[in-house]
């Protein structure tokens, strides 16, 4: 006998009614892609549970992979057995003897109402069997070292002795797609992660300004995207050459307003790419009041160029809340690499923290940026980053 399955429990998905099948199917696909490299395993889903048949594979690396899949509330190693009392007794005994515990409790869930023994009676049957066939164990129903959980379902019974917390949220791909403005700093990767946690599939747009930014800054962005693919498999990356626009803005817009105009141009280009890609929203790593471009007045002036919804999952967080998440998802060490991105060059000494929209529009109207805007769009370089695989160049947009 051995643990031969991983039992996956749904979280928020369980609250869905008529649409639950859509979420379950998406989670099934995401788990299947996540475990693509493990030969022989099978993934099966039903309305309430998902099961991974290990087929002799080492469970530890598979359990590690499951931790990064959104939509999973918790999961456990499980023994699958027939709905026969003696078979269940044998499996429960194996689970206890391999739990390295001193105290235990048994919790039976009789989902199969045709099973002849009720849940409470089954707890007593199994508890008595475990006590009479082991030495040194005692029952503790309040704070046991291990809880032997027995789920008796119509098709089979599953016995577990551990429960691992999952990533929660909704399966990536179940809530549409958003275009993440990824700068390379600490915040935007965290914003992407939290957006994916709500079931959103991402594409990424990054602005670079060679020769003021170098290839290592681009690689830094690709490395950040590679980390995010651990939570969402494949992500398209759109690299936008921004040098000409940025230089023209720096040279002709009053310095106090140059940052606002630059951000408005980034938003215009992002919206154009989103339209081309049939993406319905933009995502940013903005946090209210963190820097000059993230005041209420600045966001109002910048947002005025776009009718697209802008998702800002970090808006109420401070750095003390954002950094721990970036460390947890392993983007922090990449984000702090000392390579400049286009947001850190040509920074005015005193950017307007309360820019007036009519002034921004007045300064922009004195400058023809349309040709440079179209040129930047035409020269976008698109790549595909897939989990565990290097970036692959694709056709230009």
Question: CA 346, 350, 353 angle in degrees (round to 5)?
Answer: 110
The answer to whether 180 and 202 have CB atoms below 8 angstroms apart is yes
Question: CA 288, 294, 295 angle in degrees (round to 5)?
Answer: 75
Dist CA 233 CA 29 (whole Å): 11
State pTM to two decimals: 0.90
DSSP 365-392: HTS--HHHHHHHHHT-EEEEE-TTS--E
Element (H, E) at 336: none
Dist CA 357 CA 307 (whole Å): 16
Q: What is the mean pLDDT of residues 13-19?
A: 80
Dist CA 259 CA 352 (whole Å): 8
Q: Is the dihedral of CA 64, 66, 69, 70 positive or negative?
A: negative
| % of the chain with per-residue pLDDT over 90 | 79
Strand partners of residue 239? 206, 381
Strand partners of residue 146? 104
- SS3 category, 207: strand
Strand partners of residue 237? 204, 383
Strand partners of residue 359? none
**pLDDT(392) > 80:** no
Each residue of 107-155: pLDDT tens digit?
999 999 999 999 999 999 999 999 999 988 999 999 999 999 999 999 9
């Amino acid at each position: 006998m051995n643990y031969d399955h991983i039992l996956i429990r749904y979280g928020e998905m369980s609250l869905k009614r008529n649409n639950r099948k859509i979420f379950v199917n998406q989670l099934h696909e995401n788990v299947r892609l996540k475990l693509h490299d493990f030969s022989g395993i099978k993934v099966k889903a039903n309305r309430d549970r998902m099961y991974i048949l290990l087929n002799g594979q080492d469970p530890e690396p598979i359990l590690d992979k499951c931790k990064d899949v959104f939509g999973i509330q918790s999961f456990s190693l499980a023994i699958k057995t027939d709905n026969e009392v003696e078979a269940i007794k044998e499996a429960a005994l194996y689970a206890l003897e391999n739990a390295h515990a001193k105290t235990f409790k048994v919790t039976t869930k009789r989902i199969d109402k045709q099973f002849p023994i009720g849940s409470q009676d089954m707890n007593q049957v199994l508890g008595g069997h475990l006590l009479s066939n082991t030495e040194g164990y005692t029952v503790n129903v309040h704070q046991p070292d291990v809880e032997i959980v027995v789920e008796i379902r119509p098709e089979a019974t599953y016995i577990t002795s551990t429960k691992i917390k999952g990533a929660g949220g909704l399966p990536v791909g179940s809530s549409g797609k958003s275009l993440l403005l990824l700068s390379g700093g600490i915040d935007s990767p965290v914003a992407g992660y939290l957006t994916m946690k709500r079931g959103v599939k991402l594409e990424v747009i990054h602005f670079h300004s060679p020769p003021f930014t170098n290839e290592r800054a681009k690689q830094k962005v690709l490395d950040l995207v590679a980390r995010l693919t651990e939570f969402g498999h494949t992500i398209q990356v759109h690299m936008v050459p921004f040098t000409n626009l940025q230089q023209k803005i720096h040279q002709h817009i009053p310095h106090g307003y140059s940052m606002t105009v630059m951000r408005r141009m980034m938003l215009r280009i992002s919206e154009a790419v989103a339209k081309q890609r049939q993406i319905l929203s933009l995502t940013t790593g903005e946090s209210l009041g963190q820097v000059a471009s993230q005041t209420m007045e600045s966001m109002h002036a910048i947002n005025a160029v776009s009718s697209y919804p802008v998702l800002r999952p970090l808006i109420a967080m401070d750095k003390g809340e954002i950094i721990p998440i970036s460390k947890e998802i392993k983007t922090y060490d990449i984000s702090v690499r000392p390579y400049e991105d286009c947001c850190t060059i040509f920074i005015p000494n005193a950017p307007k923290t309360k820019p007036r929209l009519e002034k921004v529009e007045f300064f922009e109207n004195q400058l023809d940026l349309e040709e440079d805007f179209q040129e930047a769009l035409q020269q976008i370089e698109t790549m595909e980053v897939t989990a565990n695989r290097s970036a692959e160049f694709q056709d230009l947009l």
